[in-house]
Amino acid sequence: MAAPIRVLTAVPICDGHDSAINTINLEFIRHGIEVVYLGYHRYAQDIVRAAIQEDVRAVGISSYNGGHVEFFAEVVKQLKKCGADDIKVFGGGGGTITHDDQRVMQKRGVDKIFFAGTSLTDMTQWVRDRYGKASKRGAGKSAEMKLARKLTEIEDGYANGKRPKKSAATKTKKSPGTRVIGFTGPGGAGKTTLIDELILRLLHREPKARIAILSHDPSVVGEGALLGDRATMINSQDDRVFMRSMATRGQAGGLSPATEDCLRLLAQSGFDYVIIETVGTGQEAMPFQSKLVDQTVLVMNPDYGARLQLQKIVMLDLADIVVVNKSDQDRARTAASEIERRLEQNNRGQRLLSTVAKRHRDPGVDKLCNLLTQDLAPAAKKGGKK
pLDDT attached to residue 379: 36
* Total length of the chain: 386
> The CATH number of the domain where 216 resides is what?
3.40.50.300
Give yes or no: residues 80 and 207 share one domain. no
Give yes or no: residues 213 and 284 share one domain. yes
pLDDT attached to residue 195: 98
Q: Which of 15-29, 106-120, 216-230 has the lowest mean pLDDT?
A: 216-230
pLDDT attached to residue 139: 75
Residue 382 pLDDT exceeds 50: no
Give yes or no: residues 306 and 217 share one domain. yes
pLDDT attached to residue 384: 40
Residue 380 pLDDT exceeds 70: no
Among residues 105, 131, 157, which one ends one of the domains? 131
Residue 171: pLDDT band with limits 50, 70, 90: low
Residue 166: pLDDT band with limits 50, 70, 90: low
Residue 105 pLDDT exceeds 70: yes
Whether residue 146 is contained in a domain is answered as no
Q: Percent of the chain at pLDDT above 90?
A: 75
Residue 65 pLDDT exceeds 70: yes
Whether residue 148 is contained in a domain is answered as no
Residue 58: pLDDT band with limits 50, 70, 90: very high
**pLDDT tens-place string over residues 124-154:** 999 999 999 877 777 778 999 999 999 999 9
Residue 386 pLDDT exceeds 70: no
pLDDT attached to residue 378: 40
Tell me how far the alpha carbon of residue 371 is from its chain's centroid. 23
End-to-end CA distance of the chain: 42
pLDDT attached to residue 159: 83
Q: Count how many Cα atoms sit within 13 Å of the Cα of residue 78 in the half-sphere of its side chain.
A: 17
CB 267 within 8 A of CB 174: yes
pLDDT attached to residue 102: 96
Give yes or no: residues 221 and 280 share one domain. yes
Give yes or no: residues 55 and 191 share one domain. no
Q: Percent of the chain at pLDDT above 70?
A: 92
Q: From 119, 18, 114, 111, select the one nearest 73 (Cα to Cα).
A: 111
* For range 115-131, the mean pLDDT: 95
Give yes or no: residues 214 and 319 share one domain. yes
Domain that holds residue 24: 6-131
- Helix/strand/coil percent split, the chain, to 5: 35, 15, 45
* For range 353-370, the mean pLDDT: 97
Among residues 115, 131, 147, which one ends one of the domains? 131
Whether residue 24 is contained in a domain is answered as yes
Give yes or no: residues 271 and 349 share one domain. yes
Residue 9 pLDDT exceeds 90: yes
pLDDT attached to residue 383: 42
pLDDT attached to residue 339: 96
Q: Could you give phi then psi for residue 123, rounded to 5 degrees? A: -60, -50
Give yes or no: residues 214 and 115 share one domain. no
* For range 363-373, the mean pLDDT: 97
Give yes or no: residues 102 and 31 share one domain. yes
**pLDDT tens-place string over residues 31-48:** 999 999 999 999 999 999
Whether residue 160 is contained in a domain is answered as no
pLDDT attached to residue 2: 67
Total number of domains constituting the chain: 2
Whether residue 205 is contained in a domain is answered as yes
> The CATH number of the domain where 22 resides is what?
3.40.50.280
Angle at 316 between CA 314 and CA 320, to 5 degrees: 125
Give yes or no: residues 123 and 241 share one domain. no
How does the average pLDDT of the chain come out, rounded?
90
Whether residue 293 is contained in a domain is answered as yes
* For range 108-127, the mean pLDDT: 96
Whether residue 180 is contained in a domain is answered as yes
Give yes or no: residues 218 and 335 share one domain. yes
User: Which DSSP letter does residue 119 get?
Assistant: -
Among residues 131, 150, 177, which one ends one of the domains? 131
pTM assigned to the model: 0.92
Residue 123: pLDDT band with limits 50, 70, 90: very high
Whether residue 98 is contained in a domain is answered as yes
Output 266 or 176, whichever has higher pLDDT: 266
Give yes or no: residues 312 and 187 share one domain. yes
DSSP codes of every residue in 272-333: SEEEEEPPP--S---S---TT--EEEEEE-S---STHHHHH-THHHH-SEEEE--TTSTTHH
Pairing status of strand 225-227 against strand 321-324? unpaired
